Amino acid sequence: MRQGDLVVRNSYGGDVLFRVEALRSEYAILKGTDYRLLADSPLDDLSIVDDPESTPVVQKVRIKVNESWQRMQRDRQKQVSNSEQPGARPSAHQAPYFEVPGKVLHLDGDGNYLKKSMQLYNTMSVPAYGLHLHESQMANMLFRLLPQVRPDIVVITGHDGVLKLRSPNTMFSLGSYKNSQNFVNAVRVAREYEKSRDGLIVVAGACQSHFEALMDAGSNFASSPGRILIHALDPVYVAIKASYTPIRDTINLPEVIHGTISGIDGVGGIETLGRFRVGLPKSKATS
C-alpha cells in the first residue's frame, strides 16, 4: 500500500471511499474522496480499490451528486425564466439589466475538493476566490483576506470527524472533534469583520462537525446536525443558493437544506437574506 492509493475500510463494510494521505508503521491517515471525512485505520483493515467507479458506494454517490446538480440548474433556469416576466425586474423603458451574483470566498482544507468546488462555481457563473490551506490556518488567513476580497459569502470547510478515543458523553465538547475548533475560530473572525448575518453569509463545517458550536460562533449554515458525513460539494451548493437568492428574499431553508446531497442531518441553518442583485443599464460591451 502506498500514499495516494484508493481504499475502503473492511470493518465499516466499505461504506466510504478514501485516499491514503499518509502511512505510519501500522496505520494509515485517510481522507474521503467524496465525503469531507478525516480518519485513520489499521493497515490490515484496508482494501485497495482499483476501479472505484464500479463500486456500489461510488455509484450511489454519483447518483446523488447528479440529482443535486440538476436541482441547481433547474433552480437557476426557473429564476431566469421568472425574471423575464413583465414587472419582474427594475427597468428603464425596458432597458436590459445586468446581474450581480453574490461573491464567494472559499477556504478549503482539501486541494482536490477545492478544485471541484471552483469548477462548480465557474459552471454556475458565481464569482469566487478559493484558497487551499490547513484548517488551523483559516482564522489567520481570513483576517487578512476578508478586507481584500470583500466577499458576500464565506465558505469555511475541509475535513473533520468525531475522535474515536474521546471520553464518553463528550459529543458537545469541541475537544472531541478533529477540526471543529479550527472552524469555530475562523467563523469568529468572519463575524468580527461583519457582525450582521445578512451582511456576510458564513457557511462552515465538514463531516461530523460540531453544528451547535459553529452556529453559536456566527455561522448562517453549518454541518452537521446529525453528526453524519457530508458530501464535498454540500457547502458549495449552499453558497450558490445564497449567491443567487435576491437580497430582498430570504433563502428558502427547506429547499436549500433538502437540496444538499447529505440532507437535513448533514446541513442546517437560519433564515438569511440572499445576496443576488440586478442593475441598470447593462454595459454595451457585454450586450
Q: pLDDT tens across 246-276, in order?
A: 999 999 999 999 889 899 999 999 999 999 9
**Are residues 26 and 94 part of one domain?**
no
Q: What letter does residue 287 receive in the DSSP assignment? A: -
Rounded to an integer, what distance in angstroms lies between the CA atom of residue 47 and that of residue 185?
36
| 254 contacts 174 by C-beta, under 8 angstroms | no
Q: Has residue 217 been placed in a domain?
A: yes
**Are residues 261 and 211 part of one domain?**
yes
Rounded to an integer, what distance in angstroms lies between the CA atom of residue 210 and that of residue 213?
6
Strands 18-23 and 27-32: antiparallel
Specify the CATH number for the domain of residue 271: 3.40.50.2300
Q: Has residue 254 been placed in a domain?
A: yes
- Residue-level pLDDT at 286: 58
**Are residues 152 and 245 part of one domain?**
yes
Q: Has residue 1 been placed in a domain?
A: no
* Parts of the chain with a pLDDT under 50: 92
C-alpha cell at 124: 454556475
Rounded to an integer, what distance in angstroms lies between the CA atom of residue 51 and that of residue 243?
36
* Whether the model pTM is above 0.85: yes
- Residue-level pLDDT at 213: 98
Domain hosting 248: range is: 61-279
Q: How many domains does the chain have?
A: 2
**Are residues 81 and 28 part of one domain?**
no
| 256 contacts 263 by C-beta, under 8 angstroms | no
- Residue-level pLDDT at 83: 66
- Residue-level pLDDT at 152: 98
